[in-house]
Amino acid sequence: MKPIKASWLALLLAVDSQAAVTLSNVAIAQREGTRLVDIYYDAINPAGSSLSAFVAVSNNDERVEATAFSGDVGGNVSEGSGLHIVWDGGADLPGVATTDLSITLSVSDPVPAGVVLIPAGANTGNDPDFGPYSLTVDAFYMDATETTKAEWDAVANASPLINASDGKGKAPNHPVQDTTWYEAVKWCNARSAMEGLTACYNLSTWSCNFNANGYRLPTEEEWEYAARGGLSSKRYPWGNQIDHTNANYYSTYYDEHHPSFSNGGYPYTSPVAYFEPNGLGLYDMAGNVWEWCWDSLGTDKVSKGGSWDSWEIEQRCGHRGVAHPSNSGNILGFRTVRNASVAETHTEILVFDSRDYALAVASAHGSPVPAVGVFHYAWKSAVTCSVDAVVLEGGTNFTCTGWIGSGSVPASGDGNHVVVVLEELDSSIEWQWANDDTDSDGMDDAWETAFFGGLGQSAATDYDHDGQNNGDEYIAGTNPTNAASLFQLQARAVPAGFIIEWPAASNRTYDVFWTPNLVYIGFEAIETNLAFPRHSATATLHSAEAQGFFRVDVKK
C-alpha cells in the first residue's frame, strides 16, 4: 500500500491505544553533506526497561534490503528519550535520488530470539502470474527459518503430545519434514506449553483460538504477506527472476535439482538460512520444503513456498499448494507464528539523495584546497576552497582576483576563499589570477612604478647610464635610477677561506663562483641555486692560496 502523501513530505502515525510500548517525537531526515539518515525518537515500555525497534525502507513501493543500521535499533533497546538510529542509505541504496523514500520505524516489546517481527500493514498489488491481490495483517512474530529437525526433537522429547520419529530430517540444521498437518499443530501446542504460553489449538476439534499467545501455523494471508518481504507485484520474495543462487528447488531450465544438495540420497533439502533472507529477514520463503498453513480448501489444507522437488512456478509467493492434513512426505514441513504485542509504527516519506556530487577545482597558480582535480561528495556537502592571495612564480607575482564557477552557487567567500554547497551534480570552481607584469617586459609592475612612476620604461633602457639596463638592474635588485646603486658583494676572511655575503631578495636565486686569479680562465662553483633567506656562502680555499676572486650570478 502506497503511503498517504500531502506533498513531498508526509507523516503516517499508526497508534493503538492498547499498545504496551509508546512511540513519540519521531524525526527522520537525511543528514546534509552525507548519505546518512538520522532517525530520532522517544519510546517507553511500561512493561519493562527494554524494547525492540525495527526500521523498514521502501523506494517507490519497492522494498529496500536495508541492513546498514546502527544505534538504538534491534531486539534489545533500552527505553528512553532522544533515542537515535543512523541508517547508511548510501551503502544500502547507492546512486539514488528519490522524493518517495518511505521509512517506517516500529517499536514493540522485545522480540524473542529466532523470530522476526512482522509489523501490521497492507500489501496490495498485481502478481505477474496470479493477478490482483490484497493482503492485510496485524502485527505478528514469525520464525525466521523453517522448523529444523533439532527444534522438532527438542520439543518432541519433552512432550507426550508427539513422537520425535513423526518428524524426519536430513540433519539437525535441515528442516524437519515428513510431518502431517495434525502433527505440526500438536507440536505448536507442545512448544507453547514448554514456554509457558497459552496453547492455540483444541486438539479435539482442531479449532484455533487466534487470541491466545501461543504458537500456531500462519494463515495463508500472513504467510504470503511475510513472504513478499515488503515487495509488491513480484513473483518471488526477492523479485521476478529465480535461479539456484536464490533458493533450493528443481530447475526446469537446467532439468536438475539444486547441484549443491542433490547428493547423499533423498530428500535434497538444504540447511536452513543457507540463502539470503527476504526484506523482512525471513529465510527459505521459497524452496526447501512446503510449509503448512492454517487455511482449508475443502477437506485439504493449504501449503506454501514450494520445495526442493518443486518447479519454479511453485516457488512463487502467490502459488498455493494443497494436501490432506493427514498427508506427509519429505517435501512437507512448517514454521510457526505468534501474535505480537501491539506495536506502534511511524512512517515518513522524504527526499533522499545518495548520488555523487562532483566538484572540479582548477587553478593556474597557488595551492588550492582541495587540490586541483575532480572530487566527489554527498548531497549538500559544504566544501571550503581557498588559495594563497599572492603567489610568486619565476620572479613574477600573481594575485588572486577571485573565482568563476558553474553549477552550485558559492554560498560565501572573498577573493581567495569560498564555500561551495553542492546542490547540483556537476559543479566547478576555477581560480582567477592577475599577472603583476601586465606589460610583459620582465619587470614587475610594482617595481617599475616605484622607481619610474609608471610602466613606460623598457627593460632594455639604461635609465641611469651606469652600464646596466633596467632589466639587469631589476634582476640584480639595485636601484635603476641611481648610477651609484650597485650590487654589493663582500668577503670576510675566516680560517682556511672566506665567507661571501650579498643582499638577497625573495624572488631571486644566486650562484657563487671562485677563481684563484683573474688570469685563470674558469670560475669554480662554490654553491648554486641559493635562495632567500640565504645571503652568504663559505669558500674553503687550498692552503697554498691566500687570495681569490669571487663572482655571484643573480637569477630570477
Preceding omega of 237 cis (within 30 degrees of 0): no
| Average of per-residue pLDDT across 208-216 | 96
d(CA 93, CA 556): 56
Give yes or no for residue 15 having a pLDDT over 70.
no
pTM: 0.60
Give tens-digit pLDDT for 270-279: 999 999 999 8
Cβ atoms of 325 and 179 within 8 Å: the answer is no
Residue 346 DSSP SS3: strand
> Kind of pairing, strands 490-494 and 524-531?
unpaired
| Average of per-residue pLDDT across 29-56 | 93
* 315 secondary structure, DSSP code: G
d(CA 260, CA 10): 47
Complete DSSP assignment for 143-205 = ESSPPBHHHHHHHHTT-TT--GGGSB-SSTTSBPBS--HHHHHHHHHHHHHHTTPPP-EETTT
Cβ atoms of 258 and 308 within 8 Å: the answer is yes
d(CA 292, CA 301): 7
The dihedral region occupied by 394, where left means phi > 0, alpha psi between -120 and 50, and beta the remainder, is left
Cβ atoms of 355 and 96 within 8 Å: the answer is yes
d(CA 400, CA 388): 7
Residue with cell 523498514: 56
* 369 secondary structure, DSSP code: B
- Comparing CA positions, the residue from 527, 518, 521 lying closest to residue 553 is 527
CA angle 214, 188, 148 (to 5 degrees): 120
CA angle 421, 425, 427 (to 5 degrees): 60
Q: Confidence band (pLDDT; 50, 70, 90) for 477?
A: confident
Give yes or no for residue 388 having a pLDDT over 80.
yes
What is the separation, in whole angstroms, between the first and last Cα of the chain? 75
Q: Confidence band (pLDDT; 50, 70, 90) for 319?
A: very high
pLDDT above 90 covers a percentage of the chain that reads: 66
Give yes or no for residue 318 having a pLDDT over 50.
yes
Give yes or no for residue 464 having a pLDDT over 80.
yes
From the number of C-beta atoms within 10 Å of its C-beta (0-12, 13-18, 19+), residue 385 rates as buried
Complete DSSP assignment for 64-129 = E----EEES-EEEEE-EEEEEEEEEHHHHSTT-EEEEEEEEEEEESPPPTTEEEE-SEEEEEEETT
- Comparing CA positions, the residue from 283, 285, 301 lying closest to residue 293 is 301
Q: Show Cβ contacts of residue 445 under 8 Å, excluding neighbours closer than 6 positions.
A: 436, 437, 438, 439, 455
Say which residue, 91 or 16, is predicted with more confidence. 91
| Average of per-residue pLDDT across 80-88 | 97
Question: What is the rounded radius of gyration, in angstroms, for the C-alpha atoms of the chain?
Answer: 41
> Kind of pairing, strands 357-362 and 426-435?
parallel
Q: Give the 3-state secondary structure percentages of the chain, helix then strand then coil, rounded to 5.
A: 10, 40, 50
Backbone angles phi, psi at 338, to 5 degrees: -140, 150
Cβ atoms of 36 and 27 within 8 Å: the answer is no
Give yes or no for residue 345 having a pLDDT over 60.
yes
| Average of per-residue pLDDT across 466-478 | 87
Q: Which amino acid is residue 333, in one-letter code?
A: G
- Bridge-partner residues for 237, per DSSP? none
How much is the mean pLDDT over the chain? 90
For residue 173, the tally of other CB atoms under 10 A from its CB is 16
User: 58-62, 335-339, 474-478: which has the highest mean pLDDT?
Assistant: 335-339
| Average of per-residue pLDDT across 140-161 | 96
